[in-house]
Structure 1
């Protein structure tokens, strides 16, 4: 068995459901990129992770203690601290297959645009996470 190339998406069993589709029977148009009768497709539930230093690098010194941050407690557990919210424990999970590809897809704007072109997405609405 060969190892998949870096750009290949391996669909494992937990992600098999993503390939199931009722099909496009009866549609007068298509979602296929480049087709003359393609639907205009908008991705409407994208979330952006702000850089971790977004506020700390830009805020006046007197407000630094109010900036959202990540701390590590004496047991090595990481917590996200944000004023007005309870501390939120960071939980890291191992990703594989399509989940890993999906996670990486939003890390670089050029890669994101390439993925959208491949998927036939014409526009996207992006929401901040906090």
Structure 2
């Protein structure tokens, strides 16, 4: 949504990948000099999600490694989305969800439904990221014709 509103910089970040987060903060600060910058930070809640605080980084990491929380960034100067922590062999979503008490009630069928939705969302994001180059070429061709 933020990409479609012409933000200078848009990214996702996770408390489990702080170096990635710091790099994105630096980029957002620079981009904010030209326009709006937005970072959506994923930070699990031990109390509300019912897991021990000592598992916070593990929960955050498995959210990314299961593709439930993909890490990516968009810069208007580069004009494309790129993954900053691509996950080619993701963990099953159950490996992430089973760490939290708030999801203990889910049965195999429900977990399969969540897995399917996660797989579809990451594939859609990958297609969107991959098609950007093709769309830019087509746009350039059309502007040369006009």
TM-score range, shorter chain: under 0.3
More helix by share: 2
Which is higher, the Rg of structure 1 or of structure 2?
1
Alignment TM-score, normalising by the size of structure 1: 0.24
Higher relative contact order (CA 8 A, sep 6+): 1
